[in-house]
Amino acid sequence: PNNAHLLHGVGQLERKAGNDYTAKKYFRRAIKRDPSFPNPYHALGTLEHTHGNIRAALTVIKEGIGNCPQNHRLYHALGDVYLDANMLDLAEESYLAGLQHGPHWSKSFSYTSLSFVSYALGHTRDSRTLLRQSLEVNGGMHAQGVIALAQLEESEGDVEESREVYRDAILRYEKKRRKRSPFRSNGSKNGPKKKGGDDGSSFDTSSLVDGQGNSYTRAYAGDKWINVFKSWARMEEIHGTYETAHIVYSKAARLFPNNVDLLIQWAELQAEHGDNDRARLLYEAACHRVGGRTAE
């Protein structure tokens, strides 16, 4: 009962279960047991921020920084609260502090957040530069930065540049997933062969329904790169064609075959363009993935 790490862990479980009030109590108990442990400050502060309790969020996060002055995540969370409150100078100051204290891999998040401040100030060029800096860290494997840069280019009317940002990022991601895979993407002697061409336009129904024919490693839970695919597909539905959107969904389904939301969105695209048989197949695949939990 006196272990702050366990109390924080229970709080996280309660939050995932939707019990925010109970989660807050566990986070506060964890802080009381070990004031030098930064995680419950961050968890409680971001939870208060989510509920719009700006003053409570600021109080908790500042208390955490007072006790854990080297924790970059607390500075980042503080910056998020200030940014949401349109206190841009304080937001920038907090993100810069996080950039100073954080490890190298975390700099991509700091650059991305600083780009949001620049964009809010109307400095589009600076925002673009910061986003490109964020993609120079960790080999460009920063999903949030990819989406932000692509959407910036889209908002500026440069759809082709936005498409190029998505395309380059997805190529990096696919290469990373293939590199970790026991099967080669061109079909190894022992592994399943990839159906269709490299443009991702083929519709491999078996891989959707029974999981066969997948030449990539299984996506880990919480992989944020699914959001890159969804954002790209949304852009193609608006600014591209049915075929370009279909190709993006097809690529995404090979890498995230168990993502139900993705299958449903792909099915909606098919139905909207009159391919009811393909839409039905995708809806059935989605039901197959969720079983009896939310199949309705």
pLDDT per position in the chain (296 positions), as tens? 889 999 999 999 999 999 999 999 999 999 999 999 999 999 999 999 999 999 999 999 999 999 999 999 999 999 999 999 999 999 999 999 999 999 999 999 999 999 999 999 999 999 999 999 999 998 999 999 999 999 999 999 999 999 999 999 999 999 888 755 444 444 444 444 443 334 433 344 344 433 444 455 666 667 899 999 999 999 999 999 999 999 999 999 989 988 999 999 999 999 999 999 999 999 999 998 886 555 44
Q: Which of 210, 289, 287, 214 is nearest to 250 (CA)?
A: 214
**Calpha distance 161→255 (Å, rounded):** 24
pLDDT of residue 241: 95
DSSP state for residue 293 in the 8-state scheme: S
> What amino acid is encoded at 140 in this protein?
G
d(CA 227, CA 31) in angstroms, rounded, equals: 33
Q: Are 214 and 192 in contact (CB under 8 A)?
A: yes
Structure token digits, residue 135: 């993609």
Q: What is the pLDDT of residue 290?
A: 81
The stretches of 34-104 forming alpha helices (DSSP H) are 39-50, 54-67, 72-84, 88-101
The pTM of this model reads 0.81
**How high is the pLDDT of residue 176?**
85
Q: What is the pLDDT of residue 218?
A: 60
